Amino acid sequence: MTRQLIARTRDAVHRLEDTILCLFMTSLMLLAVGQIAMRNLFGISFLWSEPLIRHLVLWCSFLGALIACRMDKHIRIDALQQLLQGRWKLVAQLVASLASASVCGLLTWVAGHFLADERAYGGQGVFDLPTWILLLIFPLTFGFMTMRYLGRSARSVACLAGKGLPPRHIDQADTVISQTP
């Protein structure tokens, strides 16, 4: 029951990420094309569209990075892992996941301080939204990435202990977990 609840929650979070990214990308494209058309055809533009487009680009890029992390499709330097096999490859994956979790954790902490400073400063962004709300993507993304890399680290440890599938097979492991009674 607990594994099914975890799998359902994880799947819901994944769907939410995908949906938000699709909505933001669609909005971004419609706004950009609309802005260009209005400027070229009628010689007018909305003052709020340029800053909104900039923030949508920021949010889309960070959400895309988060989804790439989830799908294990992010950019990485893994020349050493290509040379290693068996247990040593798992150890290298564990070290890489822990290092990534550490960096993302540090960036979450820094982004939290940055957000607190923005909130204290009290700047206003597009549609008079406080700037700190528009910048929430920084700590949110790095926080989720930290959790994902810690999860990968835990799967590496479980595999090294002989109690799980290798981290490279995350999708298969998630399917197995969600199908077990």
pLDDT in tens, 65-93: 999 999 988 887 777 777 888 888 888 88
When comparing pLDDT for 89 and 30, which is higher? Answer: 30
pLDDT at 168: 55
Question: pTM, whole model, 2 decimals?
Answer: 0.83
Tell the burial category of 19 from Cβ atoms under 10 Å away from its Cβ (0-12, 13-18, 19+).
exposed
Confidence of residue 170 (pLDDT cuts 50, 70, 90): very low
Please answer whether residues 149 and 98 qualify as being in contact, where contact means their C-beta atoms are separated by less than 8 angstroms.
Answer: yes
Of 1, 13, 10, 9, the closest CA to residue 180 belongs to 1
Give the phi and the psi of residue 70 in degrees, each rounded to 5. -60, -40
Rounded Cα distance between 170 and 97, Å, is 13
Rounded Cα distance between 164 and 154, Å, is 10
Rounded Cα distance between 139 and 141, Å, is 6
pLDDT at 177 over 60: no
Q: 117 lies in which domain range?
A: 2-179
Number of helical H runs and strand E runs in the chain: 7, 0
Arithmetic mean of pLDDT over the chain: 88
Total structural domains in the chain? 1
pLDDT at 167 over 70: no
